């Protein structure tokens, strides 16, 4: 017995060593093999990213190039006109400086000199150039002579800047059409188009240019369209436009107030516009995969980029799955070796059997525990197959819908909740499958002849084949919460009504003004597609916007004459009074913030805090514009009300103070049937 035991010990040790070596080799392979596969997958993913970004960049570049070609073709009609070319040729013969050509003397023959003929042609040529400029959507046009003087300009054109003069002189004498850099003027982003003017009845390769036409055209809107996101754009993709000037590289940003900003381009490649991983051109500090496509060689490029995290998202998921799978395989093989080793040692068979028995007992106990937990959960839990039929429901689900668990298996949402609810739930099912994440929505249903409000969260159920095989739904009954919220909203509305009535009793004009501001603000908010919470904020805020004036002396509020500066200062304290009156009320909405900001302006010159730009809530911007508009059109004892369109024009003239989007929406409301009725009630 002892000899047998002693002979078995080395055999057992060899088995253990062999098992350890095999498991160690498997662990090493589980690290190396997935690493090789992941690197290969990464090359494929990056190649696809490169192909897509290059296609997007070249596609956008072709769109912009086609538009620039159309602008070039349109302008070519002017410089190819024989009458226009003859005029430029005659000026060139006269020395290229039209300022030296004078009108004829009274006793001089009009045809005796070249200068007289040109002087008489000037008004006509100016009209021709002005008409062409207006009809072709150019902003200004200049015709330069070889001396660098613009002797012919379109009507209303600003004086030639030094930058334009230098640009014209650098291009003078060239026979090809060129574009100047994108720049900013009072109208926004513009570009200059420079076209050589040849002598009359001559070909481009035969004669030298006798003049240079500089045409300026706006590009803000077009470039904004070309750079905007498309419906098929993927997450993290951005299209940018870059130019190079004597100041260095610049990004064209028609969607931002800055319009043009200086940038620094860096890359690991010598070609900074080749596809590469580099810092983004944008303000945020992040890495992107980007590639450039030329619009104007050595001058203007389209730059297409995608955020690195978004581009490599599928790779990260693949890597996690690969290592998880490798670890799972190692775990399975290790378990097999351990089980085999235990099986070879007969002296441990009894212990092994006991362990399995204990394991089965624990599994059974855990199952019973899970069944108890599942039975005690108040939320409804259900698992639907891809065909919409339920494969599992918990006891709470069955009790909530008034059926037995076995009866519900095989039924679908239409049979349980009704066709209307089932149609809406089908939409959320599709969203859960398409997004692969949790989708939550609220549903109003009738269960056992009683109204219930359910918060339903859904997530796709993935089977062993890594395919979606069903939907897991968790239903939470939030009926009591919804009822409490309704009661609270009703109480708030009653309180708001009481406060508005107090304002009306104090000053009927303020009450009517508040109602009109409320109606206009709600219509504007709906035109701008604001959320339900923002619409509710507008309704409550506009009704309470004048509540602070309860603390203003009635002698000031009802004064028939214009207010003095001191009285205006007292009026401007009403937001602070409003804050004191409403501070302790919980609206669950940014009502107080909206009222406090309604007199703030985009340029930072409003009150009480001098906020500017995006610091001001959109609800406050709408409320402020509607308040000013209503105040303008409402008659007072010391003045008549303005016409609505004139009041709108005043707001538009102050677009540095009022949101342009709000003003445009307000104009749509004024021109609508509802707006006309509301205005008619003010004027009569």
pLDDT tens digits, residue range 620-638? 999 999 999 998 888 766 6
The pLDDT value given to residue 560: 72
Can you give the pLDDT at residue 221?
92
Whether residue 567 is contained in a domain is answered as yes
Domain edge (last residue) among 159, 187, 218: 218
CATH number, residue 673: 1.10.3210.10
Low-confidence ranges of the chain (pLDDT < 70): 1-16, 19, 96-117, 203-206, 266-270, 284, 337-353, 356, 367, 370-371, 374-375, 484-485, 487-495, 497-498, 500, 502-511, 636-639, 683-684
Predicted pLDDT at 514: 83
Is residue 472 located within the same domain as residue 506? Answer: no
Same domain, 487 and 466: no
**Do 118 and 203 belong together in one domain?**
yes
Q: What pLDDT does 143 receive? A: 92
Domain-located, residue 114: yes
In our burial notation (b when 16+ CB lie closer than 10 A, e otherwise), range 579-591 reads: eebbeeeebebbb
Q: Are residues 585 and 601 in the same domain?
A: yes
Calpha distance 646→639 (Å, rounded): 15
Single out the residue in 218, 253, 288 at which a domain terminates.
Answer: 218
My answer on whether 456 and 567 are in the same domain is no
Contact indicator for 129, 143 with CB cutoff of 8 Å? yes
Q: Is residue 578 part of a domain?
A: yes
Do 562 and 610 fall into the same domain? yes
Residue 365, exposed/middle/buried by CB under 10 A (0-12, 13-18, 19+)? exposed
Q: CB neighbours of 498 closer than 8 A, spacing ≥ 6?
A: none
Structure-token pair, residue 230: 């498309």
Pair 452, 510 in one domain: no
55 inside domain: no
Is 562 found in the same domain as 422? Answer: no
Do 445 and 492 belong together in one domain?
no
- Cα–Cα distance for residue pair 196/81, rounded to 1 Å: 12
- Give the pLDDT confidence score for residue 112 in this predicted structure: 43
By the 8 A CB rule, do 556 and 535 touch?
Answer: no
At residue 573, the pLDDT reads 84
Domain boundary residue, one of 422, 442, 477:
477
- Structural domain includes residue 281: no
Q: What is the pLDDT of residues 271-285, one digit of tens each?
A: 778 888 888 887 767
Q: What's this model's pTM, rounded to 2 decimal places?
A: 0.45
Please check whether residue 293 lies inside any domain of the structure.
Answer: no
Q: What's residue 511's pLDDT?
A: 61
Mean pLDDT of the chain: 82
102 and 192 both lie in a single domain: yes
Q: Tally the domains of the chain.
A: 3
CATH number, position 151: 3.30.450.20
Indicate whether 88 and 174 sit together in one domain.
yes
Q: Determine the structural domain holding residue 555 and report its residue range.
A: 483-683
Q: Same structural domain for residues 581 and 675?
A: yes
């Amino acid at each position: 017995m002892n000899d047998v035991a002693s002979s078995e010990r080395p055999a057992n040790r060899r088995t253990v060593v062999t098992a350890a070596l095999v498991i160690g080799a498997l662990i090493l392979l589980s690290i190396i093999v997935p690493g090789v596969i992941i690197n290969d997958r990464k090359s494929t993913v990056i190649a696809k990213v490169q192909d897509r970004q290059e296609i997007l960049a070249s596609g956008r570049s072709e769109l912009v190039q086609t538009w620039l070609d159309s602008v070039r073709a349109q302008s070519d009609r002017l410089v190819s006109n024989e009458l226009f070319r003859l005029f430029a040729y005659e000026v060139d013969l006269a020395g290229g400086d039209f300022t030296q050509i004078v009108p004829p003397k009274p006793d001089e023959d009009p045809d005796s000199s070249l200068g007289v003929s040109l002087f008489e042609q000037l008004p006509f040529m100016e009209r021709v150039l002005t008409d062409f400029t207006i009809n072709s959507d150019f902003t200004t046009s200049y015709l330069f002579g070889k001396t660098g003087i613009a002797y012919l300009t379109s009507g209303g054109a600003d004086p030639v800047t030094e930058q334009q003069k230098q640009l014209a002189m650098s291009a003078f004498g060239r026979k090809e059409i060129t574009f100047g850099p994108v720049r900013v003027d009072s109208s926004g982003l513009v570009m200059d188009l420079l076209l050589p003017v040849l002598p009359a009845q001559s070909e481009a390769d035969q004669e030298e240019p006798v003049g240079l036409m500089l045409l300026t055209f706006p590009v803000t809107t077009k470039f904004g369209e070309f750079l905007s996101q498309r419906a098929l754009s993927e997450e993290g993709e951005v299209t940018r436009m870059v130019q190079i000037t004597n100041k260095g590289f610049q990004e064209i940003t028609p969607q931002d107030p800055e319009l043009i900003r200086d940038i620094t381009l860096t890359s690991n490649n010598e070609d900074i516009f080749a596809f590469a991983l580099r810092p983004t051109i944008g303000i945020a500090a992040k890495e992107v995969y980007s590639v450039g496509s030329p619009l104007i060689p050595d001058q203007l490029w389209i730059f297409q980029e995608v955020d690195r995290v978004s581009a490599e998202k599928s790779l990260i998921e693949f890597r996690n799955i690969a290592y998880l799978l490798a670890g799972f395989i190692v775990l399975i093989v290790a378990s097999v070796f351990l089980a085999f080793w235990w099986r070879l040692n007969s002296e441990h068979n009894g212990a092994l059997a006991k362990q399995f028995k204990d394991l089965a007992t624990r599994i059974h106990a855990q199952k019973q525990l899970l069944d108890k937990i599942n039975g005690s959960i108040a939320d409804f839990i259900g698992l639907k197959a891809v065909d919409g039929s339920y494969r599992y429901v918990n006891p709470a689900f069955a009790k909530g819908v008034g059926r037995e668990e076995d009866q519900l298996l095989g039924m679908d949402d239409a049979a349980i909740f009704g066709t209307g609810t089932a149609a809406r739930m089908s939409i959320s099912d599709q969203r859960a499958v398409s997004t692969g994440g949790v989708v939550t929505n609220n549903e109003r249903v009738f269960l056992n002849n009683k109204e219930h409000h359910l918060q339903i969260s859904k997530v796709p159920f993935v089977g062993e084949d890594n395919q979606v095989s069903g939907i897991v739904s968790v239903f939470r009954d939030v009926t009591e919460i919804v009822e409490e919220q309704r009661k609270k909203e009703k109480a708030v509305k009653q309180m708001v009504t009481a406060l508005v009535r107090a304002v009306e009793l104090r000053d009927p004009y303020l009450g009517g003004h508040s109602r009109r501001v409320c109606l206009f603000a709600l219509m504007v908010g709906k035109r701008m597609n604001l959320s339900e919470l923002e619409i509710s904020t507008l309704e409550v805020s506009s009704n309470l916007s004048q509540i602070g004036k309860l603390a203003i002396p009635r002698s000031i509020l009802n004064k028939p004459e214009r207010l003095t500066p001191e009285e205006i200062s007292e009026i401007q304290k009403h937001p602070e009074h409003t804050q004191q009156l409403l501070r302790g009320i919980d609206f669950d909405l940014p009502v107080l913030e909206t009222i406090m900001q309604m007199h703030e302006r985009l340029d930072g010159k409003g009150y009480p805090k001098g906020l500017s730009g995006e610091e001001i809530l959109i609800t406050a911007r709408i409320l402020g514009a509607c308040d000013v508009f209503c105040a303008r059109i409402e008659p007072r004892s010391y003045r008549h009300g303005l016409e609505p369109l004139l009041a709108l024009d005043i707001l538009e003239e102050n677009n540095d103070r009022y949101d342009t989007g709000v003003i445009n929406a307000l104009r749509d409301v004024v021109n609508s049937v509802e707006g006309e009725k509301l205005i008619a009630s003010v004027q009569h």
